[in-house]
């Protein structure tokens, strides 16, 4: 289903993604973060849908459909690097800081900090080019949300 999308993501020099594909890549990264601790529960699903609904102005079924597509893509995709590279090329730095905040919101949705989630978030921030200070501030905002 996502074969062409994955081929474009894994190309040696991928072209910047159109907005719709960038949305899907971000949503898949949210799913990857949520699944990284081995527990993917309803709180995380709800948080993913809330983040993508707010970020993209989607409502109900549209946010749910994007999340379902992202779950499929995430399970078929080879690694986190491709998602982050696609997002980095498609999203300006200021917005990438909010991407990190969204990732923290999902990671913290189950009320627990997990070493696996922390590790993948550190990797994602680095690959997105978000500096440590901005990443820490994003985490603090997500914890206060």
Q: How many CB atoms lie within 10 A of CB 89?
A: 13
Tens-place pLDDT, residues 106-132:
888 888 888 888 898 999 999 999 999
pLDDT of residue 15: 66
Q: Which two tokens stand for residue 119?
A: 């590790």
Superfamily name and number for 18-144? TerB-like (1.10.3680.10)
**In contact, 128 and 90? CB cutoff 8 Å:** no
Domain ranges in the chain? 18-144
Confidence of residue 13 (pLDDT cuts 50, 70, 90): low
**What is the tens place of the pLDDT at every residue in 44-55?**
999 999 999 998
Q: Rounded to two decimals, what is the model's pTM?
A: 0.81
């Amino acid at each position: 289903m996502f074969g062409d999308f994955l081929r474009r993501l894994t190309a040696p020099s991928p072209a910047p993604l159109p907005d719709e594909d960038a949305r899907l890549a971000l949503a898949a990264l949210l799913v990857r973060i949520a699944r990284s601790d081995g527990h993917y529960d309803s709180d995380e699903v709800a948080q993913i849908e809330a983040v993508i609904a707010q970020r993209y102005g989607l409502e109900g079924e549209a946010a749910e459909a994007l999340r379902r597509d992202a779950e499929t893509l995430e399970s078929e995709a080879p690694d986190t690097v491709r998602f982050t590279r696609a997002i980095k090329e498609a999203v300006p730095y200021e917005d990438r800081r909010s991407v990190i905040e969204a990732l923290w919101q999902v990671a913290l949705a189950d009320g627990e900090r997990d070493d696996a989630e922390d590790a993948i978030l550190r990797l994602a921030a680095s690959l997105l080019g978000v500096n440590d200070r901005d990443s820490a501030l994003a985490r603090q905002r997500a914890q206060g949300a």
